[in-house]
Structures are given as C-alpha cells and as structure tokens.
Structure 1
Amino acid sequence: MTLPILGLLLRVDWATVPAAITSADAVDALLLSLRTGAAATIICVIVGVPLALVIARSRPRVAGLLRAVTTLPLVLPPMVGGIALLYLLGRNGVVGQYLDVAWGVRIPFTTAAVVIAQSFVALPFLVIAVEGALRSTGTRFESVAATLGASRWTVFRRITLPLVWPGLVAGTVLCFARALGEFGATALFAGNAAGATRTMPLAIYTAFNGAGVSQDSAIALSLLLVAVAIVILLVLRIPRVQRAEPK
C-alpha cells in the first residue's frame, strides 16, 4: 500500500517543491479545496446525522433500502455522479431548469457546484460511521430517558449525541478527507476554472497534463495533498489513542 507513495517520493524534485507549492495557483487551489471541503462537511453533518438516525432506528427492510441509496456514491464511479448531478441541477436538468427560469440560478460550473459534488461523494462516509455508532450504543438509555418525560430533542442532545460522539468525529474527519480528494464528479459538474472550481485534485490533473507547467509541479502538488491527508489521518487517530491510554 505504501509503494505508490514511495514511488512518488522518489520521483520528487525537491528543489522545485517550495516554488511549486507556494505558487499562486497552488495556494488558490488549496484554499478553495479547504473552503469547499469544510462547507461540504458541514452540509454532510446537517443531512447525514438525522439520516443515520433514521436508518439506525428503522425496520430492517426500510433501513436496508435507505442504506443502499445513501451508500450508492461509494460504488458509483464519480464521473457518473457528475453526470447525474448535471442532469438534475444543470440548466436543462430536472430541477435546474426550474431554478433557471424562476430565479435565474445556474449551479453548474460554479463554486457551489464544487460543494454539491463533494457533499454527494462524501456523505456516505459520515452516515456509515454515525449509523454504526448508533447501532452499537442501542436504544436502552434513550428509552429510559423517554419514559422519564424527556422530549425527543432533549434525548438526542443529552443522550444520543454524547454516545455517538466518537463515531461522529471519525465520520466528519473522513468526510472532510473525501471531499478534499474529490475529482471526477467535480470535473464534470463544476468544471476546472482557476480560482472558482479548480480544487487541488484538478490542479494536479491540470499540471500533470502540461497546462503551461512541468510535471514536477504536479508531483509537488500531489505531495502537498498527501501531507494534508496524513495530517487528517493523524487527527482522526488522536481520540482513539487517548481512549486507549490507561486512566
């Protein structure tokens, strides 16, 4: 698993790395990726936590159907997801045509399209993590709190959320990492406009294909994205290490 990364490290021209990763294009792409990734993660948390709760507390058949639909982006090629988003929200799409006619809103090939594409592919990671945590904790404490007169919101805020917090944190971090690395759906649905939709993966693709820069720049940008991914994984591991330490 580490051999491809080793190959990348061996191919790096370290003399060109500082200039490549501090160039205006690289900084813009990284900042755009961080902003859109954070926005997509917030959307996934808002949508994914209630969805995971519904799946975990539904009957097996209903839960299985909802789980299959929710996790479809995990097995669906990202390019297909981008095409699906275009036909849904594009200018002539099922929903997009009405947005265009009624309010003049055009989503494709904008920064908003980047966020939507990232949310589409990253949502399953959060839902799976939170649903697993919900199932492992069961409903015993929630039932006791309900019998004592606690409202649903109080039960969720005081009982459910603290119990699933580690799963929620893990799912959020993985969701953010997946959003940062999204390429296929973003390329088709949002395009590759510098400063607006060109995220880090698209910047790497552009550099690798020689759009006015050498492939050494693509390798340096790839190294930067690998470093960001490693930091994210380390952040994900810290809570686990702390829980494993003896009191």
Structure 2
Amino acid sequence: MNGEFFFPIQLSILVACMAAAVSLILSVLAAYRTVMTDGRGSSILETVYLLPLVLPPSVLGFLLLFIFGMNSPVGRTVELLFGQTILFSKSAAVIAAVIVAFPLMYQSVKTGFAEVNGDIVGASKVDGASNWKAFYHVVLPLAKKSIVMGVILGFTRALGEFGATLMFAGNIPGKTQTISTAIYVALESGESHLAWKYAGVSISLSFLLLFLMKGLDGRRD
C-alpha cells in the first residue's frame, strides 16, 4: 500500500477531527442557549439546527455551493482576502462535515444540559458564582458524558460524510479525496477490492468509536 491509499484515510480523520472541534464549540453554545431560553424563537432556531439531519445530501451540497461558491459574497470575500476559493478545498470538506456533524452533537449536548439539576446551578450562583463560572464549573462537568458522546457521534458522522462533500469539496486525489469518495471512485473503476479495503477501515473506526460511546453510556449515573 502506498501513500495514495492512505491519503483518503488521513484526510478523513483530519477533517472529522476539525469538524468535531468546530461542532463542539457551536453545539455547546447553541444547546446552552436553547436550554436556558424558551419561546418561539428558540423553536425556530432548533429546527434550523436539526434540518441537516433530514435534508438530502444533494440539497446540503447545493446550499453550500450557493453560500460559499465563487460567485457568492462569501466566496468573493474569501478570494479577495486570501487569494483562494473555499470551493474544492480541504476547508470545503471540513465545512461539509461540520454541517452534518453539528445536529447530532447538538442533540446530545442539549440532553446533557437539560439533565443538570437547576437547583445545583442556582446554589452555585447563591454562593457568588457568576453565570459564566456556574456554566464552566457546574454545568459542563455535570454534562461531560453527554458532551463526550456527542463528540463521538459527530466525529463518526463527519468521518463518513459523502454527498455534500462530493458536491462541495469534490473528489480530487491527493487533495480532497476522503474515504467515502475513494470508495465511490473505486467502485466506479471496477476496483471492488480497493473499495472493500476502504470500507473495512471506515467500518472498523466507526465500530470502535460507537463501542466506546456505548461503554460511556453504560457508566452514566
């Protein structure tokens, strides 16, 4: 096996790690806001957060092309500032992975925040803790298992992203080709043995991560 074989695996893991990190920050902020506020506005926002779970990958890819394409305001601004486009780049693969990973992570993090006893948070504020300190020292530690499980779910989903990535980041060998797109190309080329190798790597990684998550779930108080 040469470097060409390992590149999609390395890129997929890198993209999944970056997507998980970005999604973690976004999901923590979004979930805490949802739990702490009520009303129609929150319901609409939460619907937007979860929309990528039900939209077809082709629709997600089209929307990403529309928002970040070369003729869009965002695309033109990036090209003007950095001299390059987001389209068909590793950054595009990360963005696509964030879009599909965020909803799963958000759901898990929100569940963890909702399970935190409000009396404990209130008691910390009575003792003089600010909202930030109560969140950082009380809410986050109590919800850490749900957060970790969300990260695992988000990472696993980002690792296997295909449709939006293919449309937005493309399938450029040595640049944007991930495990999923490599399997697609291998099957199109009649190289089923190569497709099986990539599929085996993907299944193994996903199995290990989900097995770890199951272990964490079994140890929840």
Same fold (TM over 0.5): yes
Q: Distance in 2 between matches of 1:240 and 1:128?
A: 15
Runs of 5+ unmatched residues, structure 2? none
Q: 1:101, CA displacement in angstroms?
A: 3.2
Checking the alignment, whether the CA contact within 8 Å between 2:145 and 2:220 is kept in structure 1 is: no
For 1:224, which of 192, 195, 201 is the aligned residue? 201
Structure 2 equivalent of residue 148 of structure 1: 127
Q: 1:160, CA displacement in angstroms?
A: 0.4
Question: Which residues in structure 2 correspond to 1:149-228 (within 5 Å)?
Answer: 149-210=128-189, 214-228=191-205
Say if 2:17 is the partner of 1:57: no
Checking the alignment, whether the CA contact within 8 Å between 1:207 and 1:215 is kept in structure 2 is: yes
Q: How many residues align?
A: 221
RMSD: 1.5
Q: 1:103, CA displacement in angstroms?
A: 4.0
For 2:217, which of 230, 240, 246 is the aligned residue? 240
Identity of aligned residues (%): 32
Q: Provide the secondary structure at the position in 1 that maps to 2:143.
A: helix
* Structure exhibiting the larger radius of gyration computed from Cα positions: 1
Q: Distance in 2 between matches of 1:74 and 1:242?
A: 28
Q: 1:146, CA displacement in angstroms?
A: 1.4
Code of the residue aligned with 1:222 in structure 2: it is A
Q: Distance in 1 between matches of 2:197 and 2:66?
A: 35
Say if 2:124 is the partner of 1:113: no
Say if 2:71 is the partner of 1:129: no
Q: 1:195, CA displacement in angstroms?
A: 1.7
Runs of 5+ unmatched residues, structure 1? 1-21
Structure 2 equivalent of residue 98 of structure 1: 77
Q: Provide the secondary structure at the position in 2 that maps to 1:47.
A: helix
